[in-house]
């Protein structure tokens, strides 16, 4: 009996052992398959795609860039390794990829708010020495250059786009409701008045859409919360003191505005807006169908309505207006905006930094950058591109470029991404009625203090 | 491969051969043990270590991870979101694992006992279909069924009722029902096997002595299958405690925090807020809860394992 059970045990051990071994081996094989070949002519480039995201960037790389680059570097082999993920997951995946020699790509596209954080983590290669010898760097707008600088003062990326945010509105719905066109709101109250009027005159229409949930990630922090907060007297971060402002009238007023929108039902249904696809639905379905009156969002939404965009709409810009976001009570300078953008960075663990840099220089020339922006519908980080008539003729680009005059950039502090997620969850709590604006400020204070440390926060 | 050792065992003295058997078996066991050590015990020890650091996915801490003592745990117990998550986890566990899967599984098994085999097979297959479906597919099916323009709302509209945003109005109920649908088959199978093992003669004897059907069930059958009940309870509890995919795919832990159970909270802290150390500390608490609940079951049911 005992012999038999030993036998059984031994047999089971051997089987599980060999299964585990073989699975371990096959794992090693599969990772080595995706590993960089190590040959000096291959570079891989990682960006976010899937679900129509970055279609412009992908097209541009495949059709405009790679064939041209190969003419200059016949041996070069450019491998695209896109990540299909939601915005929030993209950054986590990139961070994990950059950690390891095995998986780090040679070029990665980073949202500029992550550059500082990933640079502080030691994932990215400083580019200062390379930039010194590159005569086109002085064409880049200073503000945008600051966005790719980390706390150590070094530059970690070459921006390829930037953006600005404002209020999209449907002129026809405004006229129908008896509201002035063109619309130039002077304060938050003007926005609320317009939204209330729409609700009263046209109950089937959603008066105002702003990203309000955790699922829309950075879109909630930047397009909604910061667009409001930076219109008050209290920004997110005190640059002079180097501290986060965790309790201020501005914070309370911001949460109160958001609360008012949902309490008075001036916004969309929660099931629509708390969805990761919410923004897409708002601008590709509701807006063209005349079901949405006002939307607080970025210039890139204009790209939806192009002939080859996700929701072609030839008359879009006869119907739609794009106006600046006012400050809270019309304080100087009367309007506000937020800007971000994306950059090409070279990971520290890239094994082909020289060719990667050649590639970045090539794709960042005036001609190539212009080609990208015409496809992407984003603003250019280069001054010379912004003056091109082809660029200025893009619908709403004149307005969006004007917003840049009074725009703000997110604090370039490595803790920003974590603070941003606190913003998203507190906003969702207010929207769902889980906490009052006052409680939201308290939660914000508590959680931000935990994330950044007690010595890095102040109250106002 | 093992035959040489057994043939030796038959010829030599039993004591000596047993010793030899032991060595041989240990030798065969060695690969599994080494692998278990590397892939199971190692990560658990690492979890303990990381729970006391400020390990981060990005930012300066990713480069210079420091030992921070108990501060992750102090923060956790001060974090109102953690408290909410513990409560959500208990609610989810209670209704989906204990009330839902256990009781429903038992009732199904009981109703199917001694029924026509063809009937048993058909019902069994239907119930098990939920169980064999991968969690992510279950989540997708339920989202398709419950969402704003989903099947359920279409039916409601057909019969003239107003559609309901189920996943937003009743998020916890939705994920609990989905998990019950997914997991009941397991309990049903365990209870079926246990009930089939209860000798018919005992039940008949009890009936002859004048016991009602309920008394037979409560006084005779349940005590006899107590071991299976506890085992099933522990397995279902541990499985439900760790449910992530289903909830994350259906509601993402929302709206707000209404379905934010501990696994979701842990994921958010580790991979959305990039605080791996904090996330690890939460996972440790989750582990602890699992152990405590299991011990509680064993103790309260007075079953020895």
Residue A151: band (very low, low, confident or very high) from pLDDT cuts 50, 70, 90: confident
> Which of A90, A281, A418, A436 should one mutate to test binding to chain B, selecting the residue with the greatest count of B CBs within 10 A?
A418
B212 touches chain A (CB under 8 A): no
Report the gap between the CA of A421 and the closest CA in chain B (Å).
Answer: 6
Indicate whether A439 pLDDT > 90.
Answer: yes
Which chain A residues contact residue B165 at CB under 8 A?
269-271
> Which of B20, B272, B277 should one mutate to test binding to chain A, selecting the residue with the greatest count of A CBs within 10 A?
B272
Which of A41-45, A246-250, A431-435, B107-111 is predicted most confidently?
A246-250
Q: Half-sphere exposure of residue A216, counting CA atoms within 13 Å on the CB side?
A: 28
> Which distant-in-sequence residues (6+ apart) come within 8 Å of B8 by Cβ?
B17, B20
A20 touches chain B (CB under 8 A): yes
Indicate whether B3 pLDDT > 50.
Answer: no
Does the predicted model carry a pTM greater than 0.90?
A: no
Mean pLDDT, chain A, integer: 88
Element housing A170 (H / E) = strand A165-170
Q: Are B243 and A421 in contact (CB under 8 A)?
A: no
Indicate whether A209 pLDDT > 90.
Answer: yes
Indicate whether B254 pLDDT > 80.
Answer: no
A residues 200..219 contacting B (CB < 8 A): 213-215
Q: CA A430, CA A286: separation in Å to the nearest integer?
A: 24
Are the Cβ atoms of A118 and B148 closer than 8 angstroms? Answer: no
Residue B141: band (very low, low, confident or very high) from pLDDT cuts 50, 70, 90: very high
Q: CA B143, CA B72: separation in Å to the nearest integer?
A: 35
Indicate whether A18 pLDDT > 90.
Answer: no
Sign of CA dihedral B205, B210, B216, B220: negative
Report the gap between the CA of B132 and the closest CA in chain A (Å).
Answer: 23
Residue A21 φ then ψ, to 5°: -60, -50
- In the sheet that holds A237-238, the strands lie side by side as A237-238, A243-247, A457-459
Indicate whether A105 pLDDT > 80.
Answer: yes
Q: CA A94, CA A109: separation in Å to the nearest integer?
A: 9
What pLDDT, on a 0 to 100 scale, did the predictor assign at position A87? 75
What pLDDT, on a 0 to 100 scale, did the predictor assign at position B15? 66
A residues 128..187 contacting B (CB < 8 A): none
Report the gap between the CA of A70 and the closest CA in chain B (Å).
Answer: 34
Tell me the mean pLDDT in the region A235-248.
93
Which chain B residues contact residue A88 at CB under 8 A?
272
A456 touches chain B (CB under 8 A): no
**Tens of pLDDT along A321-352?**
999 999 999 998 999 999 999 999 999 999 99
**Tens of pLDDT along B79-104?**
888 999 999 999 999 999 988 999 99
Q: What is the DSSP string of chain B?
A: --HHHHHHHHHS-HHHHHHHHHHHHHHHHHHHHHHHIIIIIHHHHHHHHHTTB---SSSHHHHS--B-TTHHHHHHHH-HHHHHHHHHHHHHIIIIIIIIIIIHHHHHHHHHTTS-HHHHHHHHHHHHHHHHS-HHHHHHHHHHHHSTTSHHHHHHHHTTPPP--HHHHSHHHHHHHHHHHHHHHHHHHHHHHHHHHS-HHHHHHHHHTT--HHHIIIIIIHHHTHHHHHHHHHHHHHHHHT--HHHHHHTTT-STTTT--HHHHHHIIIIIS--HHHHHHHHHHHHHHHHHHHHHHHHHHT---
Indicate whether A280 pLDDT > 90.
Answer: no
Q: Are A412 and A147 in contact (CB under 8 A)?
A: yes
- Could you give the percent of chain A with pLDDT greater than 90? 61
Q: Please state whether beta strands A320-323 and A165-170 pair in parallel, antiparallel, or not at all (unpaired).
A: antiparallel
Report the gap between the CA of B41 and the closest CA in chain A (Å).
Answer: 15
* B58: nearest CB among A7, A118, A269: A118
A252 touches chain B (CB under 8 A): no
B23 touches chain A (CB under 8 A): no
**Tens of pLDDT along A392-410?**
888 888 889 889 889 998 9
10 Å CB burial of residue A233 (0-12, 13-18, 19+) is middle
* A95: nearest CB among B58, B75, B273: B58
Indicate whether A17 pLDDT > 60.
Answer: no
Tell me the mean pLDDT in the region A105-130.
93
Above 0.95 for ipTM, yes or no? no
Helix (H, G, I), strand (E, B) or coil at A267: coil
Which chain A residues contact residue B147 at CB under 8 A?
271
Are the Cβ atoms of B275 and A418 closer than 8 angstroms? Answer: yes
Backbone conformation region of residue A122, classed left if phi is above 0, alpha if psi is from -120 to 50, else beta: left
**Of A5-19, A69-83, A280-294, the least confident:** A5-19
Report the gap between the CA of B56 and the closest CA in chain A (Å).
Answer: 9
């Amino acid at each position: 009996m005992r012999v038999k059970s030993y036998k059984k045990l031994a047999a089971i051990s051997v089987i599980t052992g060999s299964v585990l071994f073989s699975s371990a081996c096959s794992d090693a094989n599969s990772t080595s398959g995706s590993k960089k070949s190590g040959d000096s002519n291959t570079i891989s480039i990682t960006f976010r795609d899937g679900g129509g995201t970055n279609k412009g960037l992908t097209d541009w790389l495949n059709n405009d860039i790679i064939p041209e680059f190969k003419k200059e570097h016949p041996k070069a082999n450019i491998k695209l390794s896109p990540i299909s993920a939601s915005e929030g997951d993209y950054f986590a995946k990139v961070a994990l990829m950059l950690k390891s020699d095995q998986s780090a790509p040679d070029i990665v596209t980073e949202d500029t708010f992550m550059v500082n954080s990933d640079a502080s983590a030691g994932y990215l290669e400083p580019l200062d020495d390379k930039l010194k010898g590159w005569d086109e760097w002085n064409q880049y707008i200073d503000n945008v250059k600051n966005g790719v600088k980390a706390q150590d003062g070094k530059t970690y990326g070459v921006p390829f786009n930037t953006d600005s945010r404002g209020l999209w509105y449907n002129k026809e719905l405004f006229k129908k409701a008896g509201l002035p066109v063109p619309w130039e709101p002077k304060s938050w109250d003007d926005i609320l008045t317009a939204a209330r009027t729409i609700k009263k005159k046209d109950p089937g229409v959603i008066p105002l859409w702003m990203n309000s949930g955790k699922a829309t990630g950075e879109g909630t922090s930047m397009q909604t919360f910061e667009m409001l907060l930076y219109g008050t007297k209290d920004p997110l971060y005190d640059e002079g003191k180097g501290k986060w402002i965790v309790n201020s009238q501005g914070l309370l007023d911001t949460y109160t505005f958001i609360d008012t929108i949902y309490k008075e039902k001036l916004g969309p249904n929660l099931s629509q807006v708390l969805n990761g696809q919410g923004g897409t639905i708002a601008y590709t379905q509701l807006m063209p169908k005349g079901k949405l009156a006002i939307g607080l969002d970025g210039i890139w939404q204009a790209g939806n309505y192009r002939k080859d965009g996700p929701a072609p709409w030839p008359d879009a810009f006869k119907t739609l207006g794009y106006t600046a976001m006012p400050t809270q009570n019309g304080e100087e300078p009367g309007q506000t905006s937020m800007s971000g953008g994306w950059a090409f960075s070279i990971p520290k663990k890239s094994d082909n930094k020289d060719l990667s840099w050649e590639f970045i220089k090539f794709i960042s020339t005036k001609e190539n950058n212009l080609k990208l922006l015409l496809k992407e519908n984003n603003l250019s980080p280069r001054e010379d591109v912004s003056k091109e008539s082809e660029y200025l003729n893009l619908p709403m680009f004149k307005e969006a470029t004007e917003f840049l005059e009074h725009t703000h950039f997110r604090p370039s502090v490595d803790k920003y991404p974590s603070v941003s997620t606190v913003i998203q969850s507190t906003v969702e709590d207010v929207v769902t009625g889980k906490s009052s604006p006052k409680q939201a400020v308290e939660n914000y204070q508590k959680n931000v203090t935990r994330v950044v440390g007690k010595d890095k926060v102040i109250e106002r | 491969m093992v035959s040489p050792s057994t043939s030796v065992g038959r010829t030599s003295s039993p004591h000596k051969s047993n010793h030899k058997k032991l060595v041989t078996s240990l030798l065969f066991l060695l690969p599994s043990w080494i692998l278990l050590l590397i892939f199971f015990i190692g990560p658990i020890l690492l979890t303990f270590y990381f729970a006391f650091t400020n390990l981060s996915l990005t930012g300066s801490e990713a480069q210079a991870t420091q030992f921070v003592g108990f501060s992750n745990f102090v923060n956790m117990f001060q974090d109102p979101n953690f408290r909410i998550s513990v409560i959500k986890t208990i609610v989810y566990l209670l209704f989906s694992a204990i009330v839902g899967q256990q009781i429903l599984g038992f009732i199904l098994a009981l109703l199917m006992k001694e029924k026509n085999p063809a009937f048993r097979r058909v019902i069994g297959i239907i119930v098990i279909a939920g169980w064999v479906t991968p969690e992510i597919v279950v989540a997708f099916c339920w989202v398709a069924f419950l969402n704003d323009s989903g099947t359920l709302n279409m039916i409601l509209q057909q019969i003239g009722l107003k559609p309901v945003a189920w996943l937003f109005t009743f998020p916890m109920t939705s994920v609990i029902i989905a998990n019950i649908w997914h997991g009941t088959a397991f309990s049903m199978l365990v209870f079926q096997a246990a009930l089939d093992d209860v000798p018919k003669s005992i039940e008949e004897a009890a009936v002859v002595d004048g016991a009602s059907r309920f008394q037979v069930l409560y006084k005779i059958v349940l005590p006899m299958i107590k071991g299976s009940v506890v085992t099933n309870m522990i397995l279902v509890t541990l499985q439900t405690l760790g449910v992530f995919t289903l909830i994350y795919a259906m509601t993402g832990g929302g709206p707000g925090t209404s379905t934010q159970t501990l696994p979701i909270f842990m994921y958010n802290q580790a991979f959305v807020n990039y605080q791996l150390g904090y996330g690890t500390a939460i996972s440790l608490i989750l582990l602890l809860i699992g152990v405590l609940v299991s011990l509680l079951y064993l103790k309260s049911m007075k079953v020895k394992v």
